[in-house]
Amino acid sequence: MGKPTGFLDFERETIPDRSPLDRIKDWKEIHADRDDKAVGTQASRCMDCGTPYCHTGILLSGMASGCPVNNLIPEWNDLVYRGRWKEALQRLRKTNNFPEFTGRVCPAPCEGSCVLGSIEPAVTIKNIECSIIDRGWEEGWLPPHAPTERTGKKVAVVGSGPAGLAAADQLNQAGHTVTVFERSDRPGGLLMYGIPNMKLDKTEVVERRIKLMEDEGVTFECSVNIGQDDTWTVEKLRADFDSVILCCGATKPRDLPIDGRNATGVHFAMDFLTANTKHQLDNGFDGTNPDMNATDKHVVVIGGGDTGTDCVGTSLRQGCKNIIQLEIMPQPPMERAANNPWPEWPKVYKMDYGQEEAAEIQGKDPRAYLVMTKQFISDDEGKVTGLEIVDITWGKNDKGQFIPQETEGTLRTIPCDIALLAMGFLGPEQEIVEQFALETDQRSNVQAEFERYTTNIDGIFAAGDMRRGQSLIVWAINEGRGAARECDRYLMGSTTLP
């Protein structure tokens, strides 16, 4: 433990973001440059707890508590405090294949379960993690390390999101020949197209990591839709490879089947985000996608979470007229409620980057809570022009189920030129599931036991959101690593993968 009194001597200070009014002018990452000395000071606040919940990675009340990839957080905090950054990177890489991703976009369940956080603001674990890996790239501490021997076994990984990349990385290091198939034109899955550039830079962060994996021997085949393309049928995939790991995500969005849903201008949030990022990458971050944009429009985002926030941030950068975000749930409390004790994930009110930006421009948080959309209103040409909404409360019906109950006298119409549905995802798309003849659970996810990842078809594994449902990137990395371990065991009879 580097400084036993660090948590007493220093206040929590995160690496600052660029000011909202500056950062909405471009698509660059929102974060300002880090100060390694300040990061070291923050690392000294780690208490080296006897029971460090920060790296437990368990589920409490259905939510992650601690790091799902079991990062050795107290160890690399101490090393950073002592200025031993290269050793800190070595400890970090033992558990996390892609800390540059989690260090930017993970909600940090590690901080929610930080022991110091039970009495004081938590250690800035996420900032420290990101600083370690970023310095590693800057110092040249991550050269390609291709395996010296190959096993002769071939593995196909379908899907290049965080689960697929983690599985591919692990299996490649084990000496197998790995090919990753991606239906989009660029690898990265959710990391490439589902998260805007200002939160996760595509060239300097995502493509840099993929290039390293290629240099280490992983092959990526893009614009390939397994089972839908004649070139790569399910039968050919199984014939050409010794094993297959499916990491196709939970990409079926939850719809809002109300009157007017088919109006022009009503889009799923992920379609909007993907179209924008693809346009930006194709055009060197110059201009706005002409086919789907929020420029000079009244924007309404229906739903919250990270996807809703990303829609807010994207719309502001496209120059929307104004933006409202509708949440059907109540506003979280400012502090932990009695039924949400530490070390559970703290369900408290916070403003993410998109809401901060909107508040700076519009004068207040764009979110309206306990609001339900009744119908989409359109003009004679079928274009959406407004939303009919109503305030609600939550009450129980005669079966004891919580249902929204409309508040009398609150029915009203708000202007809307583009509506973005950010209400989560229902599970994986079923075409590939059916073609592989995979068994599914009650939520339509692929049936495969956690920690084993084996499906009902011999040699076929499933991991990530496709298996567990919509979840965090850090859980996807956890599952990709686990599926690689079990795949390696299947191929070789034993495994040394963690």
322-331: per-residue pLDDT in tens? 999 999 999 9
User: Residue 119: pLDDT above 70?
Assistant: yes
- Quote the CA–CA distance of 324 and 362 in Å, as a whole number: 10
- CATH architecture of the domain with range 154-251+426-492: 3-Layer(bba) Sandwich (3.50)
Q: What is the mean pLDDT of the chain?
A: 96
- Which whole number is the average pLDDT over 61-89? 95
Rg of the chain on CA atoms, in Å: 23
Residue 251 · residue 425 · CB < 8 Å: yes
Is the C-alpha dihedral spanning 64, 70, 72, 76 positive or negative?
negative
Name the segment(s) of the chain with CATH classification 3.50.50.60: 154-251+426-492, 255-423
**Residue 79: pLDDT band by 50, 70, 90 thresholds?**
very high
- CATH architecture of the domain with range 6-139: Orthogonal Bundle (1.10)
CATH of 255-423, one of 3.40.950.10, 3.90.10.10, 3.50.50.60, 3.40.50.450: 3.50.50.60
Residue 309 · residue 354 · CB < 8 Å: yes
Name residues whose C-beta falls within 8 Å of residue 28's C-beta, 6 or more positions apart in sequence: 197, 198, 201
- The pLDDT, as a whole number, for residue 228 is 87
- The pLDDT, as a whole number, for residue 164 is 98
- Which whole number is the average pLDDT over 401-423? 97
Comparing 37-51, 153-167, 256-270, the range with the smallest average pLDDT is 37-51
- The pLDDT, as a whole number, for residue 51 is 86
User: Residue 1: pLDDT above 90?
Assistant: no
- The pLDDT, as a whole number, for residue 287 is 83
Is the C-alpha dihedral spanning 472, 197, 139, 124 positive or negative?
negative
Give 296-314 pLDDT, tens digit per residue: 999 999 998 999 999 999 9
- Which whole number is the average pLDDT over 85-98? 98
- Which whole number is the average pLDDT over 418-423? 98
Expressed in angstroms, the distance from the first to the final Cα of the chain is 26
Give 343-377 pLDDT, tens digit per residue: 999 999 999 999 999 999 999 999 999 999 999 99
Name the segment(s) of the chain with CATH classification 1.10.1060.10: 6-139
